[in-house]
Amino acid sequence: MMRKRTVSVIRAVDDVTFDLQPGETLGLVGESGSGKTTTARCILRALAPSAGSVLFRQANGTTVDLAAVSENALKPLRPHMQMVFQDPFSSLNPRMTVGQIVSEPLVIHGLGTRREREERVADILRKVGLKPEHRMRYPHAFSGGQRQRIGIARALVMRPSLVVADEAVSALDVSVQAQVLNLLKDLQGEFQLTYLFVAHNLDVVRHFCDRVAVMYAGRIVELAPTDALFRDPQHPYTRALLSAVPWPDPDVKMHFEAPGEVADPSRLPSGCAFHPRCPHCFEPCPAVRPDLRVTAPGRSAACHLHDPAFASSAAAKIQ
Ligand code: SF4
């Protein structure tokens, strides 16, 4: 007798909308399982979203929907969008020399002659603080910070406009993190790069990003300029996230807790997914899912406390 297999569909991210301006750094933060990496992978079409669109404005001013184009049409766009991975130890092929690793994307996309590729590799190795002669060596001969520089060189050799950095410094020592972040900042200025910076280290995000999007249970719950978000977080989950970090800065004082576990994506709570953990939960929260709405110029939050329709009961709740 054949056993019937049941297949359940989990929405890892849902109704995620944000824009990314040329030359800015947008931080994407949230606990593990909040949907950060899935969002980043959908933007690069490493994962195909089941619905929605990812609009990418090209240098010639035309816009293309990355979620809808065919693989063939996507191929010439790939060089413009690159990724720097989290783990500099496992993301580099130990059997390839640094030169082979960094030039591989150029070879795959058939860019330049062999001589031109060698020159481009030597140039980008210099730009990331390595030496052209390092191209003859293998990854194991380098420290963690140097390996991450190799990963950055591999991403930038294609001269992309968008770089997704997925926990790009979290595997590094604190002092090395600072060096790599400074390097990323310098390279951003030199190559006019736009960064989507996926991270869980809020201190790093605070110092590196222009704006921050906070994700919870597969949705963006708050989006704001970095200073505003850290000074005055509007969503209860953002406050909980910031409370979990010991801040040396007296401007950031948080005493807020969210008991319980992160919502399970296969069994999301009804209404606001954060409501079982939220100390401000009031009448509409268990039943009505809050939309991400503008709360101030440049700021938005998905919380009924900021919905004019519930203003009177929200005011009573937070008194
Ligand atoms: Fe809390 Fe309600 Fe806001 Fe959700 S919508 S974060 S439960 S106050």
Whether the complex's predicted ipTM is more than 0.90 is answered with yes
| Phi/psi of residue 172, nearest 5 degrees | -105, 155
Q: What proportions of the chain, in percent to the nearest 5, are helix, strand and coil? A: 40, 15, 45
What is the pTM for the complete model shown? 0.88
pLDDT tens track of the chain, all 319 residues?
555 555 555 566 777 888 899 999 999 999 888 888 889 888 888 887 777 788 888 888 889 888 888 889 888 889 999 999 887 778 899 999 999 999 999 999 998 999 999 999 999 999 999 999 999 999 999 999 999 999 999 999 999 999 999 998 988 898 899 999 999 999 999 999 999 999 988 999 999 999 999 999 999 999 999 999 999 999 999 999 898 776 555 555 444 556 677 777 778 899 999 999 999 999 999 999 999 999 999 999 999 999 988 877 766 665 5
318 CB-near residues (< 8 Å, 6+ apart): 280, 305
User: Ligand 1 atom closest to Cα of 282?
Assistant: 2
Only one residue has tokens 């800065």, namely 249
User: Ligand 1 atom closest to Cα of 284?
Assistant: 2
- Cα angle 152, 97, 183; round to 5: 20
Out of 303, 307, 317, 318, give the residue to mutate to test ligand 1, the one with the largest number of ligand atoms within 8 Å of its CB: 303
CA of 217 to the centre of ligand 1 (A): 13
Q: Which residue has the CA at smallest separation from atom 3 of ligand 1?
A: 303
CA of 19 to the centre of ligand 1 (A): 24
CA distance 59 to 76: 13
Q: Which residue has the CA at smallest separation from atom 7 of ligand 1?
A: 275
CA distance 242 to 125: 37
CA distance 54 to 160: 17
Q: Which domains does the chain have, with CATH numbers?
A: 25-208 (3.40.50.300), 211-318 (no CATH)
User: Ligand 1 atom closest to Cα of 286?
Assistant: 7
